[in-house]
Structure formats: C-alpha cells, structure tokens
Chain A
Amino acid sequence: MPSVKLKAINKSFGQRQVLQHIDMEVGDGEFVVVVGPSGCGKSTLLRIVAGLESPTSGELWFDDRLVTQVPAHARNIGMVFQNYALYPHMTVFDNLAFGMAARKTAPSAIKHRIDEVAQLLEIEPLLHIRPGALSGGQRQRVAVGRALVRSPFAFLMDEPLSNLDALLRERMRVELRRLHDRMRIPTLYVTHDQTEAMTMADRMVVMRNGRILQLGRPEELYHRPSTVFVAQFLGSPPMNLVSVKVLPDKGVAVAGKDPQVIPIPARIREQIGGRNVVWLGFRPERVVPQTDGAVEGLDFTATVHTVETLGARYHVHGTWGESPITWVTTEREGLTGSVKMKLTVPWDQVHWFDAATEERMVSPERESIPVQVGGTL
C-alpha cells in the first residue's frame, strides 16, 4: 500500500521557520492538494518530500521506509515543476529517456516505456521535437510524461497549471484528475488556486504561515471551515463574515446606526457562552429571500449596492448594517441600487467563529455534510 507520511516535519531557513510541525499522509491512490496563499510553506513542503530540501526535524516515510535522509534520485518520485523544467536542448523523447538512461535502463526497455507513456498522454507526434516548439499545454503533458515514465512511487506537482491560460487550465485539470484515476499513484499537488484544490482533491490541506490549518475532504473544509481564514480562502465569492454583538436577551445585533436585533436558537446561544462579540459567517450561495417563516434561519434586511452579471447567476454586493456582504441569486428582477431586501440563511448554514481566536465555535446540528460527491477518505 504505497503511502507518503510526514511526521512532525519542521523546516527553518536561518531564523525563519517556514514549516511548523507538519503531520499528514497521502494514502494509497489518493490525490491530496495542499493549498494556501503564497509564502505559506506549501512549496517547501513539496520540496522536502521530493528530497530537494531536507527538513530541520521530523520524519518522512514512504510506506514503511524512512526516507528522510535518502537523496532525491533514490526516492523514485515523479515531479512536475511549475515551469515544467524540461531540458530545452533535448527532444521530447530524450527528455523522457534521460532519467531512465541515467539509471542504466536498457535502450529497448526505454523505448518501450516511452511509447507506452506517449500513447497514454497522446504526445507520440511530439517525440522528436524540442520543448521550445511546443505549446504550453503540450509542455505540460511532456512534463507529466517525464514524471510518469519511471513508474514513480508517488507524484509531486508544484503548481503545474499556473502557467496555462484559463481555458486550458480547466481542461488540464480534468485531464490530470482522469489520469490519476487511471494510475492511482499517490499524488501530492500544490497550488494557490482554491478552485483547483476543490475540484481535484480527494483530500485537501489548507496551510498558512507554515502550519496546517485544516485537513479533510473538500466538502468538509467548505462546509465546516475550522477557522475564519479557511472559511474565507475557499469559495468564490468568499464567505460573508459579519461581526455581531451578543445581547443578553438571547439575540445578536449587527453593528450600525439602527441595529437589527436577531433572535437566535437556544442551542447556538449556549455554545456562544459568555462572549460579547462573535463573527457570524454564511456563504453567498446560501442566502435566500425570506418566505415568512417557511425556513427557520437568520433573518435580516440588506441594502443592494451593485449587481454583477455572470450569465447563469448574479452576484449582489450590498450591506447589512455597516457590514459589506455578497449573495448569489438567479433572479435579476427587482435588483436595483439602494433597494432593501429581506433575506434569510438557514440556521445550519450559519457559521460562528470566536472573535479573538478566529476558530469555529458552534458545531452544527446535523453532523453530516449537505452535499457529498466522490472522493475517498
């Protein structure tokens, strides 16, 4: 059962600690995406697994083999670099053959394996061309091919799609994921693009400032973000966050000249405890118009400011009290500037965060996650 395990990995460059106590695992056939803003340490993490950097402390295991001190080339890793890093002076064939030749593989075996991989990736017509003459998408495929020819123990990908244009990126996303479903090689994939992470991952890891903030299935992270940062990092447009005052009479009030007091269920009130101010969060797509008591939820009145048309839906930017909020609707009718709208968010779609620690406080009534699609855990 091939798996990659990171145990208590720390990494410092001089005084600067870039990774702090990283514990995670990429299981057999799993596609794990590490996502976070630039400088969060995700690339360093990948380079440690590759063997291009060594950790300051901690252990790296491939199955039951401790590889922390094993040099990069002996780890049998296939890596796809951000700018592909193809050998510019060699043909595609030689690019694929280079590593195998260095390992003294017989020329006939090299040829056989390259033909196999080239067929899989549909790059056979490109084998005798140099990378300079290839398009971005073709280079991407060749880079994947070079990682694949050696039948690697695990795949590492460092922002492999970030040099492609939007349309091609979407296509390659699907292709890479499909390739993974066929090969089932444990894959660790690094990106700063949350859409890429959400769409491709079996499990995802959100990092910030060298720490893992949350680790789990994309739906889990999306619907149960453990911190304000994860809540806002995932999803587009991001989750709305509103600072509210907790009132002794079992309600909350949003800041503003004419504070709207909203009664909240006793279950949530209990978990808020003695806090005076908390963050209240809800996803833009979970906002619905009020339908007189049909849905039990957070009822509020918002003022419309601008409407963005996206074709199938509209992003409405407005304010609730003094807090800017965004919601998504498919109905354009009645949406004009300064209109006040009565909106609601079902209680199980409202997230509560501690104002000081920014951590999630209220566990949901239902433990199951609303939408479940694919993925293995």
Chain B
Amino acid sequence: MNRRVPLSEDARVNSATGGGLLLWLSWWNAYALRETLVGYGLILPSLLVFLVFYYGPAIFLMYIAFFHWNIFASQSTFVGLHNFSVLIHQPVFWQSLLNTGYYVVLVVPVTTLLALALALLLRETRNLRGGGLSQALVFLPHVTPVVATSIIWVWIFDPTFGLANAVLHFLQLPQLGWLSSVHWALPSVMIYTVWHSVGLYTVLFLAGLATLPKQVLEAAQMDGVRGWRSFRRIILPLISPITFFVIVLATINTMQTFSQIYTLTGGPHGGAGGPAFSTTTDSLLIYQTAFLYLHFSLSSAMSLVLFALILTLTLVQKLIADRMVFYR
C-alpha cells in the first residue's frame, strides 16, 4: 500500500486504530522518510561544518562564560556571574564599549548615506559610457582582503610619507598624526572601514533602486514632483526595506569589526588597540583577552555582552522599522 498523499484528516483519524497505524507507517516509509533523508543528506556537509566550527564553539562559549576555565587545566569551576562582575570593574572594558559605540554611531550613518548617494549617482550614469566600470570600481574595495588593504592604508596614514598628509598639505590644512594620535586613530579606522564597505551597501541600494516601478516615477513626474521632493516622497519610502536592511547589516558588521583595527593599529608586532586604548573596541578586547592574556572565560563573558548588545540594537531597529518601513 503505497499512498503518496500528504497526511490527511482521514489518515490521522485512522492512525488511532491498528489498521490506520499500519497505513500511516507505510505512507511514512514510502514517502516522508525518503524525502527527509534526501533533504538532510543534501545539507549534511554544510550542517557538519556549521555544527563543528560555528554552533559548537558558540554554545561552548556560553558555557565557559560562567566557569573559571583554563585551557591548560583539565577541570573547570563554576563561578556564576563572577566573570561579569570582573568585567564591570575593568575600566578598559568600559573604554572598549565607548569606542565601539563611537565607531558604530559614526560609521553606520556615514556609510549608509554615502552608499545611497553613490547608488543614486551610479543609477544616473548607468547608461552612459563607463557606467558599468564605475559600478565595478565602487564595489572593488569590498572584494579586497581586509588585512592586505589595511597594510596599504597604514602607509597612506603614515604621518611623514603618507598620502593622507600629502593631501592635507596640498589643501594647506594642518597635518595629522592619524593612527599615532589618540584623537585620530579611531577616525582613521573609520575612514578605512567606510572605504572598504561602502561598495557592498551601494550595490544593495542599486538593487533596491532597480526595483522601483518606472511608471510610478513617471506618474510623479506628471504630477510635477521632481528632484528632492520626488526623492523624499516617492523614492525613499519605496526603498525603505532596503535602507532598513543596510542599516541592520552595517550595524552588525561594524560592531564586529576586528581585522582592520588589528592590522591598522598594531598588526602582528603587537600594540593593537592603541594608542592608549583609543582604538580598543569590544571585539579587539575579546580577542586580546582570550589569545594574549589567555582569560578565555572573561573573553567569553565579553562576547556574551557584545551578543546581547547587538541583539538588543537589532530588535530596537526592528521596532523602529515596523513604523517607518513600507513593504510593497
């Protein structure tokens, strides 16, 4: 009896009786089991990679955040919230939170606005000669390896020989210490991050702009609504889902920024996060606590705090979005 039908009301009623159960089992054997096995079989390779290298460590992290765990000792002791209480008494932890906040609050809006502006420009030039090339050039930085381009930017930011100061000199502006200045080190990292990531968000905005219904824009044109007004009243509301997505993605990405800070401010020779902790963000501190000072439990507790922060921020953004985003 091979009934290749979904579990219907009849089958469910019948399954209460013995005959029904057999029928249900045969249906299950013939169809659902095979479907299920094939499905899981197909995702198995990536599922394994995810379990071992992603979910496994994440769950382990939540575990050791509440223990005193030593990588060299075989046993660990439960210490409750002790790791968190150590954290809040560390000035550098607060400093790192402050740096992260400063970094996110500047990088996310600047990147989003710049990406939107670039997307609007590229949209206007897409049918001109070189339009496609411009798009590729804007996206190009994003596909370069962070560490490699960071090393180039170390040279650009060099106070004596760097391009950045050469430009300032040319513009007859005072020259800066860039990465060696307590005030300018984090902004220097921000400049690099905007340069590296804006291409991705530009492409996302371009995709959003491409879905704008042409006739609606023409209707606005005939209504005499042009320029800024048409942008604010028609284009912006219609691409609001993309804008929301870009903001959430940019927030998560910037809160997790690590590689460029590590490379720009210290690299393998140490000293990353300086000068004077001015570029020590959450993720850098997590790394240093774990792999420089080998306080894995403390570092795990920090990761949990960062996780909670990102989660809260995303939920808040979602709440705001529910009021402001218009889904067609």
Contacts and interface: CB of A to CB of B under 8 A. Distances in A.
Interface of A: 50-52, 72-74, 77, 79, 81-83, 85-89, 98-99, 102-103, 132, 146
A102 B234 CA distance: 13
A103 B234 CA distance: 16
A99 B224 contact: yes
Interface centre among B222, B224, B229, B328 (most CB of A within 10 A): B222
B223 A81 contact: no
Contacts of A85: 213, 215-216, 218-219
B237 interface: yes
A81 B219 contact: yes
Nearest to B326: A89
B312 interface: no
A99 B225 contact: yes
23 contacts: A50-B222, A52-B221, A52-B222, A72-B222, A73-B221, A73-B224, A79-B222, A81-B215, A81-B218, A85-B216, A85-B219, A86-B216, A87-B216, A87-B219, A87-B234, A88-B238, A88-B326, A89-B237, A89-B238, A98-B225, A99-B223, A99-B225, A102-B225
Contacts of A86: 216, 219
Interface string B83-98: 0000000000000000
A73 B233 contact: no
Interface string B218-246: 11111111100100011001100000000
B interface majority secondary structure: helix
Contacts of B328: 88, 132
A104 to B, nearest CB: 10
Nearest to B237: A89
Nearest to B217: A85
A223 B220 CA distance: 42
A102 B218 contact: no
A88 B216 contact: yes
Smallest CB-CB A-B distances: 3 pairs:
A73-B224, A99-B223, A85-B215
Contacts of A51: 222
B232 to A, nearest CB: 12
Interface string B65-101: 0000000000000000000000000000000000000
Contacts of B220: 87, 98
Contacts of A77: 222
A73 B220 CA distance: 9
Interface string B301-328: 0000000000000000000000000101
Contacts of B238: 88-89
Nearest to A147: B222
A73 B326 contact: no
B215 A83 contact: yes
B221 A72 contact: yes
B79 to A, nearest CB: 53
Contacts of B221: 52, 72-73
A98 B233 contact: yes
A50 B219 CA distance: 10
B224 A102 contact: yes
A146 B219 CA distance: 10
A50 B222 CA distance: 8
A83 B222 contact: no
Interface centre among A52, A82, A89 (most CB of B within 10 A): A89
A73 B222 contact: yes
A73 B227 CA distance: 13
Interface in B200-224: 213, 215-216, 218-224
B328 to A, nearest CB: 5
Contact of A102 (B215, B223, B237, B326): B223
A52 B222 CA distance: 8
A87 B226 CA distance: 15
A85 B219 CA distance: 7
Nearest to B236: A89
Contacts of A74: 224
A51 B328 CA distance: 28
Contacts of A103: 224
A51 B326 CA distance: 30
A102 B219 contact: no
Interface in B171-225: 213, 215-216, 218-225
